[in-house]
Amino acid sequence: MEARETHMSWVFLTDELVYKLKKPVRHAFLDFSTIRKRHLYCNEELRLNARLAAETYRRVVPLCRGASGHLGLGGSGRVVDWLVEMKRLPQSDMLDERIVSGRLTAAEINKVARTLTAFYALGQAEIADGGAYLRHLTGEQRINRAILLRPELALSDIASGALVMVDSLLQRLWPRIEARILSGVIVEGHGDLRPEHVCLCQPPQIIDCLEFNRSMRIIDPYDEVNYLGLECEMLGAPWIRPLLVEALQNRLPDRPNADLLALYGGFRALLRARLCVAHLLDKPVRHPEKWRPLAIRYIRQTEREILSVRSPSIRKSTPVYGDA
């Protein structure tokens, strides 16, 4: 058995199955601090991932301590925790691996695109809860600014311009996003749509939906698909993004204009830069040589996203956001 650790879970891999055990942690955006809450979110993970990866997610199983004191999955004894059981997917067929190895076709991307567009088309319009999307954009952008400008990270000279670009574009396009909410475009999506969460098997399996915070899943489908395309571009496959966006447009015709897509891409790239440098604030820091160069790459990508539309309203100012 192989064990892997993430910020929020321990993942145990056998030849055929994967078991995820949530850590007893609490952050501003999640709370796994009790067995009851971990059980709740295991069930949420199973329910939500059934939407895009029904053949992968199998069940929630108890971790029990028997009379002898030994731990075991299922069976008798006192329940001490809960795990999500999944089918193990072939690593060689994950989208990020396929991009890096050059084993990828447009037909395979089109199958993923059709899966996603059908998913969004069936989603309920989040009009009443759509304000959560604007709160997410503005709240995360404030955190981006707070983290990326921390003096000890020495990124201010690099990040400040990108921050202003996203701030200004978000301020200008705020009414347009509000209009999209009212028109029913916003839905409950995946929440963390990245290439490492897409398996190119038959049918495609899109895993690791963000289960612990519904407000972070309320999203414009074009934002989410554009983000997947951006991450593919960061891995060296810029041709994937246009295919994904075009497929979505064929099913959901309310495509944003270039300015709004640029905002979505710039915001997501800046968020990823922040998440990279956040690793440098951990104790201990794992792979310290990795995070700063990667954060700088994402900051430069932010600039490319925003400057691609060359908006005259992008200015050096401090934003005043509307009320979400």
Check residue 307 and give its pLDDT: 94
pLDDT tops 70 at residue 320 = no
Phi, psi of 103 (to 5 degrees): -105, 75
User: Is 198 strand, coil or helix?
Assistant: strand
pLDDT tops 70 at residue 317 = no
pLDDT tops 70 at residue 314 = no
Check residue 74 and give its pLDDT: 85
Residue with the bigger pLDDT between 321 and 107: it is 107
Other Cβ atoms within 10 Å of 111 Cβ, number: 16
Tens of pLDDT, residue by residue over 112-133, are: 999 999 999 999 999 999 999 9
- Please compute, for residue 85, the number of CA atoms within 13 A of its CA located in the half-sphere on the CB side: 12
Give the distance between the most distant pair of CA atoms in the chain.
71
pLDDT tops 90 at residue 95 = yes
What is the residue-averaged pLDDT of the chain? 93
Average of per-residue pLDDT across 52-61: 98
Residue type, 36: R
Residue with the bigger pLDDT between 257 and 312: it is 257
Residue with the bigger pLDDT between 324 and 308: it is 308
Check residue 272 and give its pLDDT: 97
Q: How far, in Å, CA of 171 to CA of 306, rounded?
A: 14
Number of helices (H) and strands (E) in the chain: give both, helices first: 9, 12
Average of per-residue pLDDT across 184-195: 98
pLDDT confidence band for 76 (50 / 70 / 90)? confident
Check residue 46 and give its pLDDT: 98
pLDDT tops 80 at residue 291 = yes
Residue 60 is inside which H or E element, if any?
Answer: strand 57-65
Phi, psi of 59 (to 5 degrees): -170, 170
Check residue 186 and give its pLDDT: 98
Check residue 1 and give its pLDDT: 85
- Please compute, for residue 255, the number of CA atoms within 13 A of its CA located in the half-sphere on the CB side: 16
Rounded alpha-carbon distances, angstroms, from residue 51 to 64, 113, 182, 199: 29, 15, 25, 15
Check residue 288 and give its pLDDT: 85
Q: How far, in Å, CA of 322 to CA of 324, rounded?
A: 6
Q: How far, in Å, CA of 184 to CA of 206, rounded?
A: 24
Residue type, 85: E
- Please compute, for residue 222, the number of CA atoms within 13 A of its CA located in the half-sphere on the CB side: 23
Average of per-residue pLDDT across 264-291: 91
pLDDT tops 70 at residue 316 = no
pLDDT tops 50 at residue 99 = yes
pLDDT confidence band for 310 (50 / 70 / 90)? low
Tens of pLDDT, residue by residue over 205-243, are: 999 999 999 999 999 999 999 999 999 999 999 999 999
